[in-house]
Amino acid sequence: MREIAYADPASVRFPYQDEIMEGESGQGYVLRMSLGNGLRSVVTIKSLLGKTHSMAFDANDAPYLAHWFGANEHLLAFALEEIEQGGRASGCRYAGHPLGRSYFLVRSFPKICPDCIEELGYCRLAWDLALCVACVRHRRVLIDACPWCTRPISWNRAALNACSCGCFWAENDAAGQPSNDELLIAHAIDLRMPDRSRVGAWCSPVSPWSSWGVLLQHLSLDGVMRIVFALATAAAYDFTAPVEPRSRRAMPKAQQTIRMAAGFGHKVARLEPISLRTHRPSVLIDLLCDFVASPSVESSTDFSTAQSMLHWLLSNSPKSTLHSRHASLAQLTLF
């Protein structure tokens, strides 16, 4: 191990080589290949790249990683976070999708479906999206902690499908039931992933787009994220909704975001009148304004959905600085 850590990176080539699979997370690929080559975790690879234990792999690491493990460099870069010039504050690209906010992606504490890992043999890209908390194939909640020792699951682990405490997740995990809204978001993400055909179609007898899901149906991945976070933010300002203390851990926080977004989304879908708790829902308005003004908006649907939500929010919220600050936006028309 020590000799590898001090070797010239360009001269390293591991004996077990494989291509990255379609829909496989880049970080998951490095873990799979490290273990396949007899390393105890990805930590050796991180030190070869001059990274600390807590740093994530990103697209800048793709040339070396591809050379060491035998992947196509572009396919590997596609499955790793591409950080925009100017740093994460300006967003990133993941799985071919521009993402406008750094928090749309989770880097250090992965979530997994143990049943998918058993069947597919890889960690999915989809799970790295912050709002992906369920597996549509197995109709179960993903796990972010070992059910046996409760420690958070890490990319630095010693097996793809097991904890360092010895717990094999697929055998020992009592799979949690996802809510329909968690499945809806997971499905919306799956449809935008490269392994969508392999992971199977939506299998609910109820059409997933029959409720507030229609708002998400034709959006880009970034659009889905923005609208869900915007709806959850709006829900936090809604007078009629119960006040929930915000969770801190990524997975329950994402579940809470989906729950709040769904509650408010149903109101939007029915165009119900709302009463916001504040005169300055700035986070929400900024998310949507930024979206409308963004030159990287992927589709006209993203644009018109954000416009409609802004219009609806501005016409429903009380007279305030909001209107003067965004007077021109208040003139937007519904599509």
Site for Zn ion in 133-162 (CB under 5 A): 135, 137-138, 146, 148-149
Q: Of 166 and 318, which CB lies nearer to Zn ion in the complex structure?
A: 166
* Cα–Cα separations (whole angstroms), residue 195 to 161, 333, 334: 20, 37, 35
Using the rule CB under 5 A, is 167 a contact of Zn ion?
yes
Closest to Zn ion by CB, 135 vs 232, is 135
Q: Assign 98 to helix, strand or coil.
A: strand
- Residue 215 DSSP class: G
Q: Does 163 bind Zn ion (CB under 5 A)?
A: yes
183 binds Zn ion (CB under 5 A): no
Count of C-beta atoms within a 10 Å radius of residue 7: 11
Q: Does 201 bind Zn ion (CB under 5 A)?
A: no
DSSP 3-state of 294: coil
Q: How far is the CB of 116 from Zn ion (least distance, A)?
A: 3
The two three-digit tokens of residue 237, written as one number:
């300002």
- Alpha helix positions (H), the chain: 2-5, 26-36, 43-48, 62-69, 73-78, 114-120, 169-172, 180-190, 221-237, 250-269, 282-293, 300-316, 321-325, 327-330
Those residues whose C-beta lies under 8 Å from the C-beta of residue 235, and which sit 6 or more positions away, are: 241, 260, 261, 263, 264
CA-nearest of 65, 58, 108 to 82 is 58
Select 165 or 203, whichever has its Cβ closest to Zn ion: 165
Options 43-51, 80-88, 167-175, 294-302: segment touching Zn ion (CB under 5 A): 167-175
Task: Fill in the per-residue mask, 96 to 115: x = in contact with Zn ion (CB under 5 A), - = not in contact.
Answer: -----------------x-x
Quote the least distance from Cβ 213 to Zn ion, whole Å: 20
CB of residue 96 vs Zn ion: minimum separation in angstroms?
22
Q: Which one among 21, 71, 116, 153 touches Zn ion, defined by CB under 5 A?
A: 116
Tell whether residue 1 is a contact of Zn ion (CB under 5 A): no
Given the complex with Zn ion, which of 5 and 149 has the nearer CB atom? 149
**The one among 5, 7, 165, 334 contacting Zn ion by CB under 5 A:** 165
Binding site for Zn ion (CB under 5 A): 113, 115-116, 135, 137-138, 146, 148-149, 163, 165, 167
